[in-house]
Amino acid sequence: MKKEDYPIYLDYSATTPIDPSVSSVIESHYRNTYGNASSIHSYGRIAKVILEESREIIAGSIGAEPSEIFFTAGGTESDNHALIGTAFAQRRKYGKDHIIVSSVEHHAVLDSAKYLMSHGFRVTHITVDEHGIIYTANIEEQINDKTALVSVMHANNETGVLQPIREIAKLVKKNRTVFHSDTVQTIGKIPVKVDELGMDLLAISAHKIYGPKGIGAIYIRKGTDIDALLHGGSQERNNRAGTENIPLIAGFAKAIELAQRGQEELFHHVEKLRSLLKEIIQNTVRDVIFNSTEEHSIPHILNVSLDSSTYIIESESLLLNMDLKGVAVSSGSACTSGSVQPSHVLLAMGRDPKTTQ
């Protein structure tokens, strides 16, 4: 049997296929809305209207003001902007030079923190328990009057584990520190409202919710001190230089609309699928480790390890053989594909290095 006879795509946390209606919106704007949104002529004004209407849709989906949404090239840029822009602004204005991040963050956050360390910032990595949940008490112990930013993702991209964002936000607010959260894996899948969760900065990416690649957004709460990451123009109210990509932005807004519309129904459907898949694995494969609990994770991600004391196999070999059988899965974040290193997320949870590879 050929691979194309039974293709099974199970890598939606890395990227989703684009929704046909989203693709249609993008194609239409590529053909018709070619004006620069910064131009004052009629073509520019048409593009500007599409830009601001899309901004309103995305802002409304998270309970923000349109003026608090800034378009980026995706989640990675949004995370970079949040950490680097905030850190430099806070140090320049208030002398704060300390950053707190969780040990299970996406590399867009961890590598940004590493970059800041090379520029004189102190970075504290907060550990998690065996279920991947952050120790909030550790944040309370480490946060101080020199802490510029705390960054904790909403749900982990490898395990799906949800963090106690509300509790963390309360701790951060008591110290008058800026709070950032990567919500790339939760936007469009579970309700995310910035005021309810207490976020000051938030990262979103379109291609995780059946939208296009190469477009995302950063939410910046009004009054938050943050420097621009890109320079060279006054676009996005001087927060992000560069001509706005109207077709992708319009497609992003359409994807958000569709995700909001079917969110609850999809959530319950995927919950059933996860339970079924978990049951099948438990009944057919021995010595399997499930790396998250159903109670504290989003149902769209199921992370499984094979106990290294029973199995001697590298994940790359397993994935290649599954691909030959027509099943597409990943062994970790797509941003670390090609790496043979153990998952930093599973290591932080206390898993054996051989089990995490």
| Residues forming the active site | 335
C-alpha angle 23/24/27, rounded to 5°?
A: 85
b/e map 8-32, b = 16+ CB within 10 Å: eeeeebbebebbeebbebbeebeee
Check: CB of residue 292 under 8 Å from CB of residue 346: no
Half-sphere exposure of 191 (CA within 13 A, CB side): 6
Residues 6+ apart with CB under 8 A from 60: none
Report residue 115 CA to chain centroid gap.
19
- CA distance readout (Å), 338 to 127, 139, 357: 26, 33, 12
By C-alpha distance, which of 82, 156, 84 is closest to 164?
A: 156
DSSP-derived secondary structure for 219-253: EE-TT-----SS-SS-HHHHTS-S---HHHHHHHH
Give helix 263-284 / helix 246-261 axis angle, nearest 10°. 80
DSSP 133: -
CA dihedral sign of residues 184, 190, 194, 198: negative
Q: How far is CA 291 from the centre of its chain?
A: 19
Query: Taking the CB of residue 152, how many other CB atoms lie within 10 A of it?
Result: 25
* In contact, 34 and 223? CB cutoff 8 Å: no
CA 1/CA 6 separation, integer angstroms: 8
Residues 6 or more apart whose CB falls under 8 angstroms from that of 86 comprise: 148, 149, 178, 180, 201, 224, 225, 226, 227
216 contacts 71 by C-beta, under 8 angstroms: yes
